Amino acid sequence: MAPASEDTLVKHSTEAATEFVNSFYPALQSNRATISSFYSQQASTILFNGNVVADGAAVQEIFVNQMTPTHYEVQSFDCQIINRTYPTPTATGFKLPTETTVKDMSILVIVSGFVRFGESRDLPQRGFSETFVLVPNPTADGPKGKRRREWLIQTQNFRLVV
């Protein structure tokens, strides 16, 4: 397959990041039952303020059962392609570089914004910085009863910075 042109790659990666940011933070805020659907089954490291969280299901559990109402405000974000021939898992193994399409890429996303823990608007705004690596969703179907997402979190690192 001919390598995709630069504009196609930029278009795909930035649209993927935008779609992700526009759906993930609202989910953390008000649709917590869907949180695990954002994570890859093969998710590697997931960190919140230096606390290791095992997987997407554990993240969802924490947000559903332990987390106060939380308001996120994304103020700036950007992305880059890490690997434009990402070895997306298949039924038999991995896609080889010759088999990959424009959608087989891994994307680095960095987000800067603030978060307010609690419902009152008078509570302090805490600055955060969050880094994600997004990878293609290898499965054709979404998790049971949940929407299929095209891009999934492979790794995530959240930090309060202000």
Partner 1 sequence: MKNGKARGRPSASDRGGIRKRGAAKKVDREGDLVMDGNTSQARAKRGRGDSVRSGASSGTRSQTSTRAIDAIQKAISSNSESQQANIRQGGRASNLEQVRVNNWKGSKAKSNPDGGQESLIAFLEKKLSPPDARASARARITKSRLEGDAIIVSIKPELLNRMLQLNGFNFAGKILEIEKYDEAGIDQAMLPVNGSTPTAADTKAKMTAFLAKRFNRENKLLDLSDLHNDPDLIAMGIFQSTSTESKFFPALMKVWELNLSLVFDSPAARRRAVESVSLRANKLDNLKMVTTLAQAFPDLKNLDLSHNDFKDAQSLLAWRHKFENLELLDLSNTPFSADPTFKDTMLKWYLKLRVLNGIEVRTAEELAALKKSPIPVQAPYFRDEGCIAENFIRAFFSGYDNDRNGLLDSVYDNESTFTLNINTAAPRAQQADVAAWDAYIKNSRNLLRITHLTARMSRSHNGADKIRKLWNSLPATRHPDIAAHPQDWLIECYPIPGLVDPTGQSPTGVGGLLITVHGKYDEIGKGSKIDTRSFDRTFVLGPGGGAGGVRVINDILCCRAYGGNEAWAPETEEAAQPAAQQATPQQSIDQAAVPQQVVGPPATPEGYGMPAPGKSETQVQQEQLVIQVMSQTGMTLQYSELAISGNGWDLDKALQDFAKLKEQGTLPPEAFLAGTV
125 lies in the binding site for partner 1 (CB under 8 A): yes
CA distance 126 to 148: 31
CA distance 146 to 34: 7
Binding residue for partner 1 (CB under 8 A) from 2, 91, 92, 122? 122
- Residue 73: its H or E element: strand 70-83
If the CB atoms of residues 143 and 157 are measured against partner 1, the closer one turns out to be: 157
CA distance 56 to 159: 17
**Which one of the spans 7-15, 27-35, 142-150 is the region binding partner 1 (CB under 8 A)?**
7-15
Q: In DSSP terms, which residues pair with 128 in a beta bridge?
A: 113, 160
Q: Enumerate binding residues for partner 1 (CB under 8 A).
A: 6-7, 10-11, 14, 17-18, 21, 44-45, 47-52, 66-68, 70, 73-87, 93-94, 96-97, 106, 108, 110, 112-114, 117, 120-127, 129, 131, 133, 135, 154-155, 157-162
